[in-house]
Structure 1
Amino acid sequence: MSARETILTALHTRFSMLPTCALRGDVLPERVPAQGLLILRDGEPGEPEVTLSPLRYHYQHRAEIEAVVQGTNDRDAAFDTLCASIGAALAADRTLGGLCDWVEAEAPQPVDLPLEGAAGLKAAVIPVVLHYSTADPLS
C-alpha cells in the first residue's frame, strides 16, 4: 500500500473507534444513525515540496470529513459532541502511530439542511490536513 493509502486507512480506523458510524468514500445513506455519521473523503494531496539528497516529497494532504447529524431535539448539541469527538480522536495521536508528521483539523462551517417529510440535518465538511513525506509520489 502507498503511504497515502496507509495514512487514510489509519485515519478511517481512528474514526471507526468513535461511537458514530464512520464510512470512507461512501454516499450519504438514506438514514443517518442516531449518533451521527462521518464520511471520510480522500481529498487532495496537493503539490509537494521536494527536497533532494535524499529525495523526499513533503505533502500537506487535505482530506475531508463530512459530519452529519439528524433530528429535531438537541441537534446542535449532538453536532457539537460529534465534532468534539473528532477533535479528541485526532488529539489522541497527532502522528497516527508515526505515519504522519502531524495531523490537524480545521474548524467546521456547519449548515442546517431541511428535509421534506423528515427531521432536518446539521452537517459540515471538516478539512483535515495530513503532513507526511514519501520517497516517491506514487508510493
Structure 2
Amino acid sequence: MFFEMTIQKRVTNINEGHKWYETLLKKKPDIIPHEGFVEWEIIPGCWLQVAEGIPSEDSGPLRLAVKDIEAEQKRIVKELNVEHFEIYSRNEVNAKWGTFKDPWGNRVGFFEYLDKNEQDDRIKTILGLTKVL
C-alpha cells in the first residue's frame, strides 16, 4: 500500500530555486531540513522537494491540478517570466494541460479537469471529505 509520495527537482542555485518554487506554489516551504534542500507539501501526503544539484534532463513533468489553467498560465508568465506555453486538449481526455520549464530546465506543468463535478469530487477525496473505497 502506498500512502504518501515525494518528487524531487534539482536546481543549480537553491536560493533562486527556493524563491521560484515559492512563487509558483504561492506558499512558503513546509520544511527546510538542511542547507540546499526545501520541501512543500502540495496536497496531503504529496511532497515536492527542491534540492541543489544538477537538474535531470528530459525527466517527466511534475503536473499540478489547477481550477483555471489559463489564469495560472498568465500568472506565471508574468510573475516568473515563464515562456508562453501551449495548452492542449483531446476529445477522449477529460482535461486540458500545458508544460513549461523552470529556469533550470526541469519540466513542470498544469492540468485542469474539464468535468467540474469530477474536479470537485477529487478535491473532496483529497481533503478527506468523502470516504475512499
Q: What is the TM-score of this pair, normalised by structure 1?
A: 0.35
Structure index of larger Rg: 1
Asked which structure has the greater RCO (Cα within 8 Å, sep 6+), the reply is 1
Q: What is the TM-score of this pair, normalised by structure 2?
A: 0.36
